[in-house]
Structure 1
Amino acid sequence: MGKRPLAVLASVLTAGLLLTACTSGQSSGNGDGSGGDQNREITYLANTEPPVWDGQRVPSLNANSVNSSIFDTITSQADDGTYHPGLATDWKISEDGLTYTFTLREGVTFHDGTPFNAEVLKQNLDRPLNEPDLATVSSGIAENRVIDDRTLEVKLSRPNAGLIHAFSTPHWPVYSGKVLSEHTPAELSADPTLSIGTGPFKVAEYSRGSSLVLEKNEDYNWAPETAGHDGPAYLDEVNIQFVPEPQARIGALNSGQADAVDQVPPLNINEVESAGNSILTQDNTGTPYYLALNPNTAPFDNRDVRLAFRSAIDIDSILDGVYDGVYDKAWSTTLPGTPPEGSFDESLVNSWSYDPDEAARLLDKAGYTSRDSEGYRVKDGKRLRIEWYVDSLYVQTDQRQQLGEAIAASLKDAGFEVVRTPFDTASFTSEIAKGTHNLADASRGFAEVATSVSPFAASSIPRSGGGSGINYGLLDDPVVNEAYSVISTSQDTDARIAAAHTAQKRILDEGFAVPLYIPKKIVGTTPAVSGWKFDLVGYTDTFYDVQINN
């Protein structure tokens, strides 16, 4: 099966959106390395090209799903949420939580042949100290010290209970020291051929806006114990093509021109399965897709208006209409399954609901007692208008443009005028930092509770002039801040879980955010594909164990 031109794949369109329920699973086929004749390459259609290839710079699901095959992680996380060796075989944490001592794996080399050692890892972990615009600046790393070739000491400025998890994700790609020395941060972000790691695949070809080809790293012999086998990958080549149009991806899969496709829309699941192909799904952990309300400016500076806004959205009906019930409603800003176990507050299930009468009562109480000629609520001659800022990069993910339009239409009945304003990714955060918006949407996949609460902590507020804060509601609430302080610094699991429950309840009670749905990774594959896996977050967990059988 050779590489196929994008033009051919993009021309494959199928008609009709059929409704059905989906089947789910984490892998297809036997995945045990046995079986008959095997092809050695697959064609995989991704929904978008990552805007930035450097995982430390932008936390991008699209980049992570590719980079996880190129870069090994410092630690690895198992399906039960526990942590195991990766590039580090062992680590010790000081009693005060400020010093981590990592023992590193021997015999590991980068794709360019240079060795992995403590000095190279120091180069990678020093990056946030020298590049203040990296997303990883929030890790709290203050100093990295090489003890010997196989030992690195990491000192923090404050305890960070989520550090070991962060090191298990593609957000911390470990680059060749040669690449870091010879190329600028901008070059790393723009050019995946510079993504030289130690992983089971290396970049062979790249065509901007079109495709990326990965080839097997024949020398790979240091897979983590969480992987399904040892030695090099089964596949010789992964041909990744960027095809934004869902029907083009599905048409290519159903016609046999692609072996796997990302982001199958829920309404197309039956179409894929009816063609004899497989649907693989995994719920995300971390935060749901949610609406972040800005309580610092009118009208959301009034708690009654915030709660009225939530009560006015018929989330169940909207999810059924847009997703045919495939996506489940989210009840909290922390998702079920987010480690440590018990972090999701189950008491919040069914604790709030669509209630147009309550929305009307609260708006009357807030002074929005009349309507203008177009049916919108008015107070002191001013329309109840909500400015919703949107990151254009993600409007096609999960059909969020359609979902947003449905939400806006639903709110009109209650008297809210909702205006969605798109911004390109480069300017979105800086526009949010200005604080003139009322609403922004987000989701954040992480298998660690601290990251599900950080989008609501004051320390994550984006600042004008730089930074990559993820608190899009610009929330600075003492109860949430105190809870986050415990969650992000304590090594006491029970204390962290209790604080997580406090934060979730506070956010809902005050109407600081509206949880909408549990994001779900939905991948379509041919029956010949086996060994496909997802990590606990819900990303594609490398192509390392994937096979394709005749």
Structure 2
Amino acid sequence: MSSLSRARNAAALLALPVLLTACSAAGGEAAADAGPPKPGGTLRLGISSAPDCIDPQQTATNASINVARQLVDSLTDQDPKTGEIKPWLAEKWEINADSTAFTFHLRSGATFADGSPVDAAAVKTSFDGIKALGTKAQLGFGYLAAYQGSTVVDPRTVRLEFSAPSAQFLQAGSTVSLGVLAPAAFTKTPEQRCQGTGLIGSGPFVFESFKQNQEIVLAKRKGYAWGSSLFKHQGEAYLDKIDYKIVPEPGVRTGSLASGQLDAATDIQPVDEPQFTGNGFGENIRPNPGVVFNLHANTTRGVLAAEKVRQAVLKGVDRAEVVSTVLTPSYQAATSILGSATPLHSDLSQQLAYDPKGAAALLDGDGWVPGPDGIRVKDGQRLSAAVVFSPVFNQNRSVLELIQQQLRKIGFDLRIEQHTTAETTQIQLSGNYDFLWYNVTRADPDILRSQFSTKAGNRSKLTPGNPLDAALDAQSSTVDAAKRRPAADEAQKLIVGHAYAVPVFELTQVVALSSKAHAVDFEASSRLQLFDAWLS
């Protein structure tokens, strides 16, 4: 039986309620019956992969970030519901007219785990250190591409300066990738910090131990009293410890939770969801903001150089069938290239409607005629393109197999090529692809600039000076949402309208909880925030 057939059979058994909000209640009625939060205990949390690095400034994978987020504080925080930027280590800030200088006024009393103060000099050292990491700062490298340096105005005031408008930085400053580390951390090598040596933050937890491919243990930071303004309580975290158990096999992870060996588990797969929608268990669910899973076209390659062909592919994908057949109602069909949880997301559902007749009309008009096997041909060329992917999400192959079947109905041959994550990265950097299949998480529309701008990732291989470049630059030039919105909206419409990428579905984080675990929550980028988590 194929992976697609297995997925369809499993999907037929599901009867989950449709989510009406971004997050479901963590623990449902059990949480309400547990009484007020109480301190103490060790949260045993099953995660799906071994973090290769737990230095927040170098991490890029969900597993790594879900650990690192607990170790560091950020200058700002972002409201998961509204996208609004809120105070954390910085009490307030000013931004100059062209968004090239950001002045932060730091709160008093915050200290790093080694007792040193979180002051302007420490912030400068930390941001200069991220910039010095270069591409080792896998996410921060892009956020600080135009960073020129910092100036210590006084002990509690620091000004960060950029060589180009960087409206995105205010949101970037809320992410774990730009979390602030103590000056002493930069006396260690990046490799040492990856393994926890010298990893000194000001966060609510501190690093305790790291057993490769087994577990990572964090302990409560005693005396912590400078949490984000978005936290549900102030003072120290409730949990004494967090024990991240590394359990790659989904069945083993869910089995360990069901049997009581774990208190919570991340990355619950669609086929495993039903067992945690009752029976004393609960789920916390949130769609990822940022770029949705999509077929990103190289517009200089083969048949995809023709816009009508790309538009036909966009119309030939039945997103609702992907969600209902391979995934679950916890997931959402894409309504734009940006996920619905992304600030300034535009609803382009009508443009992304399944329209096989429209797809066929486009291909007919462009001279593509059905061949003997049903795949269209033109001037001796088959209507065919390959998609490169890695199995970073368990259902990727099943999704692509279904899309492959859908596109055959319009006479398009989608060839599926699986590679390791490292191989896929190299292929992307080389430009040697037709379609890339991927998603990128970030709670800011500027994520489009990093993927589509000719000055950045340019995965579509567009020519500089195009209208999309102008829209992406415009949305990055101001922090005023009212002024950013038209440019962000235009960028999304251009990407979908020209089918530079074919959006399919939004990745969703699904965390399952035992009746003992409460408030295992998400921050705005759908990463775990465990400061308010507690055990009954």
Deviations 1:16-56 (A, max 9, x none): 77412146525446589964987511110111223443443
1:445 aligns with 2:435: no
Q: Provide the rounded CA distance (Å) in 1 between the counterparts of 2:52 and 2:463.
A: 30
Give structure 2 stretches of 5+ with no counterpart: 1-8
2:327 maps to what in 1? Answer: 323
Deviation, 1:429, is: 2.9
Report the CA distance shift for 1:513/1:252 in structure 2 as closer, same or farther (over 3 A): same
Q: Provide the rounded CA distance (Å) in 1 between the counterparts of 2:507 and 2:205.
A: 28
Pairing of 1:105-504 with structure 2 (within 5 A): 105-133=107-135, 134=137, 135-138=139-142, 139=144, 140-181=146-187, 183-188=188-193, 190-339=194-343, 343-346=344-347, 348-371=348-371, 374-392=373-391, 394-396=392-394, 399-461=395-457, 471-476=458-463, 478-504=466-492
Amino acid at match of 1:548: L
1:88 aligns with 2:90: yes
Deviation, 1:306, is: 0.4
Amino acid at match of 1:258: L
Secondary structure of the structure 1 residue equivalent to 2:283: strand
Contact 1:55 1:172 in 2 (8 A): yes
Q: Provide the rounded CA distance (Å) in 2 between the counterparts of 1:129 and 1:526.
A: 41
Report the CA distance shift for 1:333/1:227 in structure 2 as closer, same or farther (over 3 A): same
Deviation, 1:240, is: 0.5
Report the CA distance shift for 1:88/1:452 in structure 2 as closer, same or farther (over 3 A): same
Amino acid at match of 2:534: Q
Q: Provide the rounded CA distance (Å) in 1 between the counterparts of 2:361 and 2:293.
A: 27
Contact 1:41 1:237 in 2 (8 A): yes
* Equivalent residue pairs, number: 515
Secondary structure of the structure 2 residue equivalent to 1:223: coil
Report the CA distance shift for 1:112/1:428 in structure 2 as closer, same or farther (over 3 A): farther
Q: Provide the rounded CA distance (Å) in 1 between the counterparts of 2:441 and 2:317.
A: 24
Contact 1:54 1:173 in 2 (8 A): no
Deviation, 1:68, is: 1.4
Amino acid at match of 1:384: L
Amino acid at match of 2:504: L
Q: Provide the rounded CA distance (Å) in 2 between the counterparts of 1:352 and 1:105.
A: 46
- Correspondence for 2:506 among 518, 526, 533: 518
Q: Provide the rounded CA distance (Å) in 2 between the counterparts of 1:173 and 1:476.
A: 35
1:99 maps to what in 2? Answer: 101
Q: Provide the rounded CA distance (Å) in 2 between the counterparts of 1:36 and 1:187.
A: 36
TM-score by length of 2: 0.89
Q: Provide the rounded CA distance (Å) in 2 between the counterparts of 1:404 and 1:483.
A: 31
Deviation, 1:105, is: 2.6
Deviation, 1:438, is: 0.7
Contact 1:20 1:269 in 2 (8 A): no
Deviation, 1:169, is: 0.9
Deviation, 1:322, is: 0.5
Deviation, 1:325, is: 3.4
Deviations 1:48-104 (A, max 9, x none): 223443443453332222211111111112233222221222221123322212222
Amino acid at match of 1:474: K
Deviation, 1:128, is: 4.6
1:548 aligns with 2:527: no
Deviation, 1:485, is: 0.7
Q: Provide the rounded CA distance (Å) in 1 between the counterparts of 2:140 and 2:212.
A: 26
Q: CA RMSD in A?
A: 2.5
Fraction of identical pairs, as percent: 27
Contact 2:129 2:186 in 1 (8 A): no
Q: Provide the rounded CA distance (Å) in 1 between the counterparts of 2:246 and 2:283.
A: 20
- Of 222-231 and 107-116, the range deviating more from structure 2: 107-116
Q: Provide the rounded CA distance (Å) in 2 between the counterparts of 1:36 and 1:174.
A: 28
Deviations 1:315-371 (A, max 9, x none): 2112211013331211211233422xxx2223x222332222332332333333242
Q: Provide the rounded CA distance (Å) in 1 between the counterparts of 2:349 and 2:361.
A: 24
Contact 2:431 2:459 in 1 (8 A): no
Q: Provide the rounded CA distance (Å) in 1 between the counterparts of 2:32 and 2:157.
A: 36
Secondary structure of the structure 2 residue equivalent to 1:345: coil
Report the CA distance shift for 1:33/1:219 in structure 2 as closer, same or farther (over 3 A): farther
Deviations 1:234-260 (A, max 9, x none): 111111112122221211111111110
Q: Provide the rounded CA distance (Å) in 2 between the counterparts of 1:194 and 1:31.
A: 40
Secondary structure of the structure 1 residue equivalent to 2:171: helix
Report the CA distance shift for 1:265/1:148 in structure 2 as closer, same or farther (over 3 A): same
Amino acid at match of 1:363: L
Amino acid at match of 1:63: S
1:50 maps to what in 2? Answer: 51
Deviations 1:119-172 (A, max 9, x none): 221122113542332332333211212223222121110111111110111121
Deviation, 1:206, is: 0.7
Deviation, 1:314, is: 2.1
Secondary structure of the structure 1 residue equivalent to 2:387: strand
Contact 1:440 1:473 in 2 (8 A): no
